[in-house]
Amino acid sequence: MNGRTHVVYGIGLVFLVYVLIMYICWIKDTMNISPSFLAFFVGGTFGALFPDFDLFFGIGKHRNTLTHSSIFPVLVTFSYGFNDDVFARTLLMFICFGMATHLTFDLFISDVPEEYKSSIVKRWAYRIGAFLSGKVGGKFKGNGNEWANKHKREYLIVHAISCMICGILLAFAIYNEWVL
C-alpha cells in the first residue's frame, strides 16, 4: 500500500476509535475531557504515516526496525505518555492507533491481479485470501532483518498489537474516570 492508502484507511479506523471514545465520554458524562478533533486528526495521520518515514527521510532501508515496529510508541508512551498534558497524551494515543493500523495493513499484499481491480470488495477479498494462505506483502530491508523477513506475519502482528496496547493504556491514563 502507498502512503495515501495508509492515511485513508488509518484515519477511517482511528475515526471509529475517536467516535467510540466520544460516545463513552457522553455516556459517562465526562465530555469535559473528550478528545479534541485536532489531536485525533493530526495524531491519526502522523501515526498512519510514521512507519513510512524511512522512505520520506532516507532513514536506512524501507521497513527498517526503527520505523516498522512498536519501539517508538512504547518508548514515548512509557517515558512521556503519563504526564499531566492531556492534549499531548491524546495526540500520542491517536499516533499509537494510527501506527497500529499501518502495521496491520502492511500484512496485506498490495499487488492485486488485474481481474480483482474492478472493485474495492474484490481487491480486499483477494488480499484477505492471500493473507489467509500465508502471503504477506513487502519485505524488510537492511542488515539484521532476516528474522523479520522469515516471520513477517508474526513480526507485524506483534508490533501492531503492541501499538494498540500503548494506545489503550494511554486512553485509560487520560480517561481514568471510566474505570468503575
* Structural domain span for residue 84: 3-178
Q: For 121-164, how does the pLDDT look when each residue is reduced to its tens digit (9 = 90+)?
A: 888 888 888 777 777 666 555 545 565 556 777 888 889 999 99
| Domain tally, the chain | 1
Residues 6 or more apart whose CB falls under 8 angstroms from that of 49 comprise 3, 6, 7, 56, 98, 102
Question: Taking residues 165-171, what's their average pLDDT?
Answer: 89
What is the distance, to the nearest Å, from the Cα of residue 161 to the centroid of all Cα atoms in its chain? 9
Give the span between the Cα atoms of 80 and 103, in whole angstroms: 22
Q: For 9-46, how does the pLDDT look when each residue is reduced to its tens digit (9 = 90+)?
A: 888 888 888 888 888 877 777 666 667 888 888 988 88
Is the pTM of the predicted complex or chain greater than 0.95? no
Quick one: pLDDT at residue 62? 67
**What three-state secondary structure class fits 25?**
helix
Quick one: pLDDT at residue 97? 92
